[in-house]
């Protein structure tokens, strides 16, 4: 295993220990009982700020600081407890504001007779991502009209990738987070129409804070996460580990259904690999991985040993591992005679190359990726 240190920053190790204590899922010991092993008893203010910055980028501020704060209070360390309490309060205010906007947006869709499902953003609860993601099968004309008239939203500039994926980003006055709405398609190039078409039918209501939202079924959540991590960004956040662990612990995942749907979409190997990576990371910190059926492990192309911490995230290798997953997805679509979606997906390497060149020349891949 390469998880520790494998290039990890001290902040990543501390956050991982806060979020994934030994025995998680099996009546774990209270986190404060392993305080000395966490390495936070003498953390400096600068080190705390580094920890907080990483927690923000990994969408685990609320969950990480909740444990940190409890440890400091029980240790009688009022100074460090105050650092955490201030940051915790600030993040909670941000999330409450964003959730209120999100609820108003969903209500406006429903009032207009449009289906809408919140994807990705609420997977991190009680944390929240850096933008608000929605899926709808409404037409772009209807969505643009609703967002501009109801919320005075401005349409953010669209990249080539946004156009292929058929998604729009909206900027709403008074809301710091962008609202990203996927319309009728999922996947980096909008190649996944089968998953998208059945998303709303399998979605269900769930309470987040004081608001009800429609969110995807567990299997769809995992497929969307795998599409994002294994086929687009090629890195994990700690929230992906913790979110998936929490979902697994609820025992609501139908792995047979997940395999069946993901195989049709051509992403089963990527989903299985995603689960294997999460399981390996958990095993290192908790002493126990996910309770996965054997057929998941058999289908996984690689696991946690191939993950390295670099540039702030847990990176997965693009060549050759992720490239082979992409090839398998494209092959499945061609065999299924999804010619238009295959053409979309075949543009991904060109798009990625253009983004990499743009990043090297200008320092940004905006307008491309």
Report d(CA 336, CA 313) in Å as an integer. 35
**In the predicted structure, residue 283 carries a pLDDT above the cut 70:** yes
Q: For residues 40 and 68, is the Cβ–Cβ distance under 8 A?
A: yes
Residue 228: closest CA among 266, 263, 198, 187: 187
pLDDT at 235 over 80: yes
What is the Cα–Cα distance from 73 to 82, expressed in whole angstroms? 9
Please say whether the beta carbons of 196 and 350 come within 8 A.
Answer: no
* DSSP string computed for 188-235: TTS-BHHHHHHHHHH-EEEEETTEEEEE--HHHHHHHHHHHIIIII-E
> Quick one: DSSP state of residue 75?
T
Residue with tokens 């259904």: 257
Higher pLDDT, 258 or 73: 258
Confidence of residue 356 (pLDDT cuts 50, 70, 90): low
Whether 211 has a pLDDT exceeding 70, the answer reads yes
Task: Please report where in the chains the tokens 């994807």 appear, as a residue.
Answer: 119
% helix, strand, coil for the chain, step of 5: 60, 10, 30
Dist CA 21 CA 248 (whole Å) = 16
- For residue 336, what pLDDT band results from cuts at 50, 70 and 90? confident
What's the pTM value of the predicted model, to 2 decimals? 0.92
C-alpha 14/C-alpha 68 separation (Å) is 10
Token output for 59: 């969408």
Q: Report the C-alpha gap between 295 and 298 in whole angstroms.
A: 5
User: What's the rounded Cα separation, in Å, for the pair 270 and 251?
Assistant: 21
Q: Kindly report the average pLDDT of the chain as a whole number.
A: 89
Q: pLDDT grade, residue 23 (50/70/90)?
A: confident
Length of the chain in terms of residues written: 369
- CA dihedral over 33, 38, 43, 45, signed as positive or negative: negative
Look at residue 285 and tell me whether its pLDDT is greater than 70: yes
Question: Quick one: average pLDDT of 217-234?
Answer: 95
pLDDT in tens, 98-147: 999 999 999 999 999 999 999 999 999 999 999 999 999 999 999 999 99
Contact 227, 267 (CB under 8 A): yes
Predicted pLDDT of residue 275: 98
Question: Distance between CA 256 and CA 70 in Å, rounded?
Answer: 39
| Structure confidence at residue 42 (pLDDT) | 86
109 CB contacts (<8 Å, ≥6 apart)? Answer: 115, 116, 134, 136, 138, 146
d(CA 286, CA 251): 18
What per-residue confidence (pLDDT) applies to 249?
92
Range of lowest pLDDT (117-121, 184-188, 273-277, 358-362) = 358-362
Confidence at residue 21, expressed as pLDDT on a 0 to 100 scale: 87
Confidence of residue 26 (pLDDT cuts 50, 70, 90): low
Cβ atoms of 105 and 134 within 8 Å: the answer is yes
Distance (Å) of CA 68 to CA 24, 27, 39, 156 = 16, 19, 11, 37
Q: Give the pLDDT band (50/70/90) at residue 368.
A: very low
**Interval 55-94: pLDDT, tens:** 999 999 999 999 999 999 988 999 999 999 999 999 999 9
For position 353, what pLDDT does the model report? 61
Q: Which tokens belong to 120?
A: 């990705």
pLDDT exceeds 50 at position 5: no
What confidence tens digit (pLDDT) does each residue in 340-350 have?
888 888 888 76
Q: List residues bridging with 170 in a β-sheet.
A: 155, 179
Residue 110, pLDDT score: 97
Helices (H) and strands (E) in the chain, counts: 16, 10
Q: Give the C-alpha separation, 95 to 87, whole Å.
A: 12
According to the model, what pLDDT value does residue 75 have? Answer: 87
Q: What are 292-326's pLDDT values in tens digits?
A: 999 999 999 999 999 999 989 999 988 888 889 98
């Amino acid at each position: 295993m390469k998880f520790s240190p494998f290039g990890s920053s001290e902040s990543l190790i501390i956050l991982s220990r806060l979020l994934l204590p030994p025995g998680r899922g099996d009546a774990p010991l209270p986190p404060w009982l392993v305080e000395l092993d966490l390495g936070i008893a003498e953390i400096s203010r600068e080190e705390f700020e580094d920890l907080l910055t990483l927690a923000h980028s990994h969408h685990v501020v609320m969950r990480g600081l909740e444990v940190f704060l409890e440890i400091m209070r029980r240790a009688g360390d009022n100074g460090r407890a105050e650092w955490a309490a201030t940051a915790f309060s600030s993040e909670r205010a941000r999330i409450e504001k964003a959730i209120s906007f999100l609820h108003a947006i969903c209500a406006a869709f429903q009032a207009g007779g449009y289906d809408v499902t919140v994807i990705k953003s609420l997977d991190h609860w009680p944390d929240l991502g850096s933008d608000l993601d929605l899926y709808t099968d409404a037409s772009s004309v209807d969505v643009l009209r609703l967002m501009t008239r109801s919320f005075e939203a401005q349409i953010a500039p669209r990249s080539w990738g946004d156009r292929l994926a058929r998604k729009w980003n909206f900027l709403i006055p008074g809301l710091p987070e962008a609202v990203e709405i996927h319309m009728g398609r999922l996947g980096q190039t909008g190649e996944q129409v089968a998953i998208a078409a059945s998303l709303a039918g399998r979605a269900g209501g769930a309470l987040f804070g004081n608001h009800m939202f429609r969110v995807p079924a567990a299997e769809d959540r995992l497929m969307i996460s795998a599409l994002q991590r294994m086929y687009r960004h090629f890195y994990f956040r700690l929230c992906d580990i913790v979110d998936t662990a929490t979902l697994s612990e609820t025992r609501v995942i139908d792995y047979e259904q997940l395999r069946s749907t993901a195989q049709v979409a051509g992403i089963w190997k990527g989903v299985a690999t995603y689960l294997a990576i999460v399981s390996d990371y958990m095993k290192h910190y908790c002493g126990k991985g996910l309770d996965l059926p054997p057929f998941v492990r058999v289908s996984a192309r690689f696991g946690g040993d191939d993950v390295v911490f670099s540039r702030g995230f847990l990176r997965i290798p693009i060549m050759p591992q992720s490239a082979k997953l992409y090839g398998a997805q494209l092959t499945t679509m061609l065999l299924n005679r999804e010619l238009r979606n295959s053409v979309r997906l075949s543009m991904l390497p060109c798009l990625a190359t253009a983004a990499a060149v743009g990043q090297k020349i200008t320092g940004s891949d905006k307008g491309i990726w």
